[in-house]
Amino acid sequence: MEQEKLFRIPEPEIKLVEIEGFADPKGQALFKRRVMMALLHKNKDRFRVIDAAIDQAKQKGLSYVLCKVSSEAKKFLDYSRQVSSEYHKAVSFIRLKPIDQHQVLMGEFEIRHQTAELIMQHFMRRFPTYAIMIILGEQVYIGKNKEIYQRKIEKRKIALPTVVDKYEKYWLTFYKTQFIPERKNLRYLKQMIPKKYWRWVTELGEFGLI
Amino acid sequence: MNTEEKLELLGTAAKYDICASTAMPKPRKAKDRNYIGSNAPGGICHSYTPDGRCVSLLKVLMTNACTNNCQYCINRCSNDTKRAGFTPEELAHLFIELYRRNYVEGLFLSSAVRKNAAHTTEQMLKTLQILRFQYHYTGYIHLKALPHTPAHMIELGADLADRMSVNLESPTPDRLKKIAAEKDFMLDLIQPIAAIQKQVQKGKLQSGQTTQFVVGAAGETDAELLRTTSWLYKKKELKRVYFSAFVPLAIPTGRQAPQLPSHPATVPLLREHRLYQADWLMRFYEFEVNELVLQNDQNLRLDVDPKMSFALKNREGFPVEVNTASFKMLLKIPGVGPLSARRIWRARKEHRFTDINELKNMGVVVKRAKPFLLVNGKKQGNISEIMTAKQLELFEDQTSQLAYMQAPKLLT
């Protein structure tokens, strides 16, 4: 990939400033984390939702918002939770294909919120000696040496490695061994992993579920 | 036998070990940037099987060749099954390749006892050393300590692993004798647990120590299981106790030991579920073991969950005012979990609750909680909305169906 065609991820539009007047430092740190997550939500009304939460925190206290007493606080925390959940699902279900001659680990996923940077950071922390390349929707992200680059792609031009990987076969063999038929419980499975993510958990196909 | 065949055999043999947690409070420090692996404080699940169980660890045995003859175990020496074993190098390489592809979050290494515990543990420790020092792996490892493992090997294991465990299998020495005659409860099991506890106290094994019971194999009661569980949490500082309902079908018909239950229906999964609920009450809801309500046969009720059983048995202590109840009392209300109790407790410092919908927003399961709470002095519902009169009769007749382990403490 040509370096000049890549560009750095822009700085976030909003920088959080210290929120004055809140006595509880632990609560303040938690509130900031929630705001950071809500800022990455896909909905355009996120700024209005965050503003409403901050106003309520100023008037009624941080606990009032963090404990989800009002419907505004609930919406704000739901936004934050949805972003966290997407990040968590992505780092769980992205499968990496090693391209050893280039020390690259490559994967693919679909995201709805702006979680790309968080996902990249997770894998860069985990595999610091590799370049991480992840296709997220119509963007490809490349992370190496603590820097993340992003570029729009045409999916059909990207050739994912097609070599039959023996470890993928080993994984499927191992996965099948872990099922206890006497405990089969598809309702529980759907509860643990919503159906929208099943396409990424390809091994479910081993049991004819996808 | 090739790697795939070994993986199939030794993965199948390890699937009844329950622990799938990969949570580590702090990352393991790497000497330089030439490492592989990291952790998530809350753990990550990479896949699920159709039974809904999480597959997050490469859970395998080092070998399934065993000198023991435990009646409940598929690997017992009298069982006619294929035997195999990984070499340390083979297993370490296989694990790293699966980890690199983000299939697994860590390694769970257990084993049958080949030759003796020291010999097998040595092989397991060698695998861990290859991972830590050759591959510079800094992620999660759960090491199973075998019965009778020497103390110096437990110490070395504690340096290399993040969590260790010994499977108790049965709650008392007598019960253990029924299913594993060669094992000495105190010497082979409690002693290694005490040795691991010492390592935890030294600051090693940041994910702590766990154990597992086989439920229903030795005819043990829930009371026995829960008393031992409570003792393990309090005296041995265990992080977690797992319960695994005995599955007779794991061993082909005809090869099953005659003293074990022969049909799965004899050990309902619901019993395992109720035991977990009781376990959670002790770990997160500040319940004492003697507050759990049992039937005359010393088992938990299967038709009502343990928390609801407690509330119905102690109806005179309810409803409680949500604006003034103690934190411990909030935790006793059905439908109020530790998180919502904490939220209520924190929010009411700056706010007085006047509407039950406020509690709904905070995560309270209002339908279950309504009969047991007052919001700003107002009653919210009746018990008859959630229980039939017939079910309630069981709790009113204090002499027939129900009995406490001891007299219940009065709620304050």
Q: pLDDT at position A14, please?
A: 45
Percent of chain A with pLDDT over 70: 84
User: Chain B within 8 Å of A30 (Cβ-Cβ)?
Assistant: no
Q: Taking every pair of C-alpha atoms in chain B, what is the biggest distance, in angstroms?
A: 72
Question: What is the Cα–Cα distance from B199 to B131, expressed in whole angstroms?
Answer: 21
pTM of the predicted model, to two decimals?
0.88
Q: Which residues of A touch B36 (CB under 8 A)?
A: 126-127, 129
At A15, the amino acid letter reads: K
Q: Which amino acid is at B170?
A: S
Give the 3-state secondary structure percentages of chain A, helix then strand then coil, rounded to 5.
55, 15, 35
3-state secondary structure chain B: CCHHHHHHHHHHHHCCCCCCCCCCCCCCCCCCCCCECCCCCCCCCCEECCCCCEECEEEEECECCCCCCCCCCCCCCCCCCCCCECCHHHHHHHHHHHHHCCCCCEEEEECCCCCCHHHHHHHHHHHHHHHHHHCCECCEEEEECCCCCCHHHHHHHHHHCCEEECCCECCCHHHHHHHCCCCCHHHHHHHHHHHHHHHHHCCCCCCCEEEEEEECCCCCCHHHHHHHHHHHHHHCCCCEEEEEECCHHHCCCCCCCCCCCCCHHHCCHHHHHHHHHHHHHHHHCCCCHHHCEEECCCCCCCCCCHHHHHHHHCHHHCCEECCCCCHHHHHHCCCCCHHHHHHHHHHCCCCCCCCHHHHHHCCCCHHHHHHHEEECCEECCCHHHCCCHHHHHHHHCCCCCEEECCCCCCCC
- Yes or no, beta carbons of B344 and A67 under 8 Å apart: yes
Distance of CA A86 to the CA centre of its chain: 5
The amino acid at residue B269 is: L
The answer for residues whose C-beta is within 8 angstroms of residue B129's C-beta and 6 or more apart is B88, B160
Handedness of CA B46, B50, B53, B57 (dihedral sign): negative
Q: Which of B4, B44, B361 sits opposite A173 (nearest CB)?
A: B4
Task: Residue B198: count other Cβ atoms within 10 Å of its Cβ.
Answer: 13
Q: At what angle do helices B88-100 and A166-177 cross, to 10 degrees?
A: 100
| Type of residue found at B166 | V
Of the partner residues A128, A129, A183, the one whose CB lies closest to the CB of residue B51: A183
Are the beta carbons of B48 and A198 closer than 8 angstroms? no
- The DSSP secondary structure of A94-128, one letter per residue, reads PPPEEEGGGTEEEEEE--SSS-HHHHHHHHHHH-T
Alpha-carbon distance A39 to nearest alpha carbon in chain B (angstroms): 22
What is the distance between the alpha carbons of residues B92 and A173, in angstroms, rounded to a whole number? 17
Task: Return the residue matching tokens 């050893």.
Answer: A100
Answer whether A124's CB lies under 8 Å from A98's CB.
no
Chain A partners within 8 Å of B15 (Cβ): 177-180
Are A122 and B38 in contact (CB < 8 Å)?
A: yes
Instruction: Give contacts of B 260-279 with A, CB under 8 A.
Output: 264, 269
Q: Which of 109-128 (A) contact B at CB < 8 A?
A: 122-123, 125-128
Tokens representing B342 are 């904490």
Alpha carbon A151 to its chain's center: 18
Sort strands B47-48 and A147-152 into parallel, antiparallel or unpaired: unpaired
DSSP annotation of A206 reads G
Q: State how beta strands B54-55 and B57-61 pair.
A: unpaired
Give the B window 67-126 contacts with A, CB below 8 Å.
94, 97-98, 100-103
**Three-state DSSP class for residue A24:** coil
pLDDT tens track for A160-182:
666 678 999 999 999 999 998 88
| Per-residue model confidence (pLDDT) at position A101 | 77
User: Are residues B361 and A95, on separate chains, in Cβ contact within 8 Å?
Assistant: no
Q: How many CB atoms lie within 10 A of CB B286?
A: 15
What whole-number distance in Å separates Cα of residue B357 and Cα of residue A71? 10
- Burial state string for B108-132 with b = 16 or more CB within 10 A and e = fewer than 16: bbbbbbbeebeebbebbbbbbebbb
Q: Are B151 and B193 in contact (CB under 8 A)?
A: no
Tens digit of pLDDT at every position of chain B (412 positions):
899 999 999 999 998 888 778 888 788 888 778 899 988 888 899 999 998 889 999 999 999 999 888 877 888 888 888 999 999 999 999 999 999 999 999 999 999 999 899 999 999 999 999 999 999 999 999 999 998 899 999 999 999 999 999 999 999 999 999 888 888 999 989 999 999 999 999 999 999 999 999 998 888 999 999 999 999 999 999 999 999 988 775 555 555 555 565 554 556 889 999 999 999 999 999 999 989 988 888 899 998 999 999 998 888 889 999 999 999 999 999 999 999 999 999 888 888 999 999 999 889 999 999 999 999 999 988 888 877 777 777 776 543 444 444 433 332 2
**Cβ atoms of residues B65 and B114 within 8 Å:** yes
A residues 64-103 lying closer than 8 A (beta carbon) to B:
64, 66-71, 73-74, 88, 91-98
Predicted confidence at residue A1, as pLDDT, reads 44
- In Å, how far is B80's CA from the nearest CA of chain A? 19
Greater pLDDT, A199 or B275: B275
Say what the pLDDT of residue A13 is.
47
Burial class of residue B103, CB neighbours in 10 A (0-12, 13-18, 19+): buried
Residue with tokens 């976030």: A12
Q: Give the C-alpha separation, B180 to B185, whole Å.
A: 10
> For the CA atoms of B177, B179, B182, B183, what is the dihedral angle to 10 degrees?
-70
Q: How far apart are CA B142 and CA B208, in angstroms?
A: 10
Q: What's the pLDDT at B392?
A: 75
* Cα radius of gyration (chain B): 24
- Chain A residue numbers touching B265 (CB-CB < 8 A): none
What's the ipTM? 0.87
Report residue A79 as tokens. Answer: 């936004």
Whole-number percent of chain A with pLDDT over 90: 51
* Residue in B110, B109, B106 with CA at minimum distance from that of residue B44: B106
Select the residue from A126, A130, A144, A201 to test the B interface by mutation, using most B Cβ atoms within 10 A: A126
| Beta pairing class for B106-110 and B140-144 | parallel
Sign, CA torsion B286/B244/B211/B301 = positive
Q: What is the nearest CA distance from B383 to chain A, expressed in angstroms?
A: 26
Cis peptide before B147 (omega within 30 of 0): no
- CB-nearest partner of B103 from A91, A171, A183: A171
User: Are residues A168 and B349, on separate chains, in Cβ contact within 8 Å?
Assistant: no
Distance, first Cα to last Cα, chain A: 34
Q: Is B249 on the interface with A (CB under 8 A)?
A: yes
Distance CA B293, CA A106 (A): 54
